[in-house]
Amino acid sequence: MIPNQLKFLQDVFFKIDSRYVIYAADILIQLYRAKSVMSIEEFFRFFRNKNKVDVWETLMLLNEQGYIFKLKVPATLPTYRLTPLGRTVVYSIREHVYKPLDTAAGN
């Protein structure tokens, strides 16, 4: 279940099942923070107490819909990078999350 303050994520990820929406947002934000690429193992470590199948399925959904792309590097673990669409979604998430905080603080 998605908390009320994060309901807007369902609009951002309208093609993604609601059970994967939080994973999707976290994956995009982690890739944005990494400023590079992340392997599937790094995602599994980040989501250490979560279901690995859900993390993997979310990565596949994000890849299929163009938010991230899988780098084709032979003999390595699958590695993912943020696309321009994914970066736009991160900016949208940050706008929704941080703007209300700024307003509440009187800034």
Place of tokens 């947002």: 25
Residue with the larger pLDDT of the pair 18 and 85: 85
Q: Which domain holds residue 80?
A: 4-104
Q: 68: domain CATH number?
A: 1.10.10.10
Structure tokens at 89: 């979604």
Return the sign of the alpha-carbon dihedral for residues 42, 95, 21, 89.
negative
Q: How far apart are CA 88 and CA 101, in angstroms?
A: 20
Judge whether residue 3 has pLDDT over 80: no
Contact 52, 93 (CB under 8 A): no
Contact 28, 68 (CB under 8 A): yes
Phi, psi of 70 (to 5 degrees): -90, 125
Question: How many domains in the chain?
Answer: 1
Judge whether residue 12 has pLDDT over 70: yes
What percentage of the chain exceeds 90 in pLDDT? 43
What pLDDT is recorded for position 75? Answer: 65
Judged by DSSP in three states, 55 sits in helix
> CB 54: neighbour CB atoms within 10 A?
14
Q: What would the pLDDT profile of 43-88 be if each residue is shown by its tens digit?
A: 999 999 889 999 999 999 999 999 999 987 776 778 899 999 999 9
